[in-house]
């Protein structure tokens, strides 16, 4: 037995439901539980939050909240929509109180969130992702307006739903949210702001076009920067003096990062054994190059790339020193054939989440 009256869902994004992924591309086994993990998302659709109704309102044969959630996930997956269940535990809050005329402090507890079974769907890099096969707005619109779970039509299951102007269908309050198993601050930190998006969106091999959830950062190119807090005239003079002394090389670093990306993607032409799936990203103060597109931090290719591009320990003056790996064009450099171009990788490659477009 279950109730939709406690569904915590709402939003208003609209697109054609015909863009929802076709069925048959995703596993859908009735009776199997598909649990949410931190590898899903980071942005998802909150489809419904279900909880058991009080004992006195139950009917024989009615579904429990878990049974209803599993059926809902199954029907979504049959339509090609990745869906998962997640147990939202009860949260208890506290209200501080102070006794009149006394310094004694007490507190009242209250339930700030009831336990419920949440059904979440989709795996999006951002709440407005518009990839052809993974369109957040189209999927949300389909769930809110078109999707009608077949098991809700069976009264024997005990589903409760009352049509209202604000809720014309059982799932009309579905909305975008962050995967509850991931840090909201972390998702925000990896979300690209509008200025950085402009720097990267139209660029060839932009990291924003990476379809994976993770990538390996292998090379960093930093520009020089300054902070000026004064009037405009003085700022221009300070900027001119700074550039005369240090050079204004942020654009130059960005160009070097892009050239390395191009060189990695066509490495076989320079004598390397393979080409690499490389991406470039320009931030406000640096540019960096990444390798690979991974859906899991446990992908075995990550360790392989880390070993290949990471620094190597070499003996120097009787000590082992971590030395950065180089990438040259051509690969085989000799005294009679010096490198035409040379780049230096980071000594310790770092697995990062692919930035999300805001």
DSSP strand pairing (116-124 vs 191-192): unpaired
158-195 pLDDT per residue, tens: 555 556 666 678 888 899 988 988 877 667 666 655 56
| CB-CB neighbours of 241 under 10 Å | 11
The DSSP 8-state label assigned to residue 54 in this structure reads: P
Q: Provide the whole-model pTM.
A: 0.48
The full set of domain ranges for the chain reads 17-95+104-188, 190-357
| CB-CB neighbours of 228 under 10 Å | 13
The DSSP 8-state label assigned to residue 334 in this structure reads: B
39-54 pLDDT per residue, tens: 898 889 999 888 777 6
Q: What pLDDT does residue 15 have?
A: 34
257-276 pLDDT per residue, tens: 999 999 999 999 999 999 99
CA dihedral 104, 110, 112, 118 (to 10 degrees): 140
d(CA 312, CA 315): 10
CB contact set of 172 (below 8 Å; sequence gap of 6+): 9, 144, 145, 166
CA dihedral 10, 13, 46, 126 (to 10 degrees): -140
Contact 192, 355 (CB under 8 A): yes
- Phi, psi angles (nearest 5°) of residue 320: -85, 125
68-105 pLDDT per residue, tens: 899 999 999 999 999 999 987 644 445 555 455 545 55
Q: What pLDDT does residue 140 have?
A: 94
d(CA 6, CA 3): 7
Q: In 3D, which of 225, 349, 210 has the Cα closest to residue 284?
A: 225
CA dihedral 120, 125, 129, 134 (to 10 degrees): -60
Which H or E run contains 235? helix 232-246
Q: What pLDDT does residue 301 have?
A: 95
d(CA 32, CA 308): 40
């Amino acid at each position: 037995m279950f109730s939709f009256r406690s569904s915590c869902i709402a939003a208003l994004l609209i697109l054609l439901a015909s863009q929802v992924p076709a069925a048959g591309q995703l596993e859908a086994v009735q009776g199997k539980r598909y649990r949410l993990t931190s590898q899903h998302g980071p942005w998802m659709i909150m489809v419904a939050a279900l909880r058991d109704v009080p004992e006195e309102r139950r009917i024989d044969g009615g579904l429990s909240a878990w049974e209803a959630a599993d059926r809902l996930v199954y029907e979504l997956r049959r339509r090609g929509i990745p869906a998962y269940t997640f147990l939202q535990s009860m949260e208890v809050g506290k209200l501080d109180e102070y006794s009149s005329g006394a310094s004694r402090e007490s507190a009242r507890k209250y339930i700030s969130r009831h336990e419920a079974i949440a059904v979440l769907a989709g795996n999006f890099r951002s709440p407005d992702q518009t990839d052809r096969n993974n369109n957040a707005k189209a999927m949300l619109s389909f769930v809110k307006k078109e999707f009608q779970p077949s098991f809700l039509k069976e009264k024997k299951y005990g589903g409760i739903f009352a049509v209202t102007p604000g809720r014309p269908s059982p799932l009309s309050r579905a909305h975008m949210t962050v995967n509850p198993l991931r840090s909201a601050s972390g998702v925000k930190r990896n979300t690209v702001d509008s200025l950085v998006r402009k720097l990267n969106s139209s660029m060839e091999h932009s990291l924003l076009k990476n379809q994976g959830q993770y990538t390996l950062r292998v090379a960093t190119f930093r520009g020089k920067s300054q902070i000026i807090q004064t009037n405009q005239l003085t700022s221009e003079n300070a900027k001119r003096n700074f550039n005369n002394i240090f050079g204004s090389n942020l654009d130059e670093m960005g160009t070097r990062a892009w050239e390395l990306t191009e060189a990695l993607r066509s490495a076989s032409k320079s004598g390397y054994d393979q080409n690499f799936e490389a991406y470039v990203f320009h931030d406000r103060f640096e540019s960096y190059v990444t390798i690979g597109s991974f859906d899991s931090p446990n992908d075995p290719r990550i360790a392989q790339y880390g070993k290949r591009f990471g620094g190597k320990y070499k003996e120097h003056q009787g000590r082992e020193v971590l030395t950065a790996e180089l990438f040259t064009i051509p690969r085989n450099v000799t005294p009679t054939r010096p490198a035409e171009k040379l780049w230096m990788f980071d000594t310790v490659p770092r697995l990062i989440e692919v930035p999300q477009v805001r």
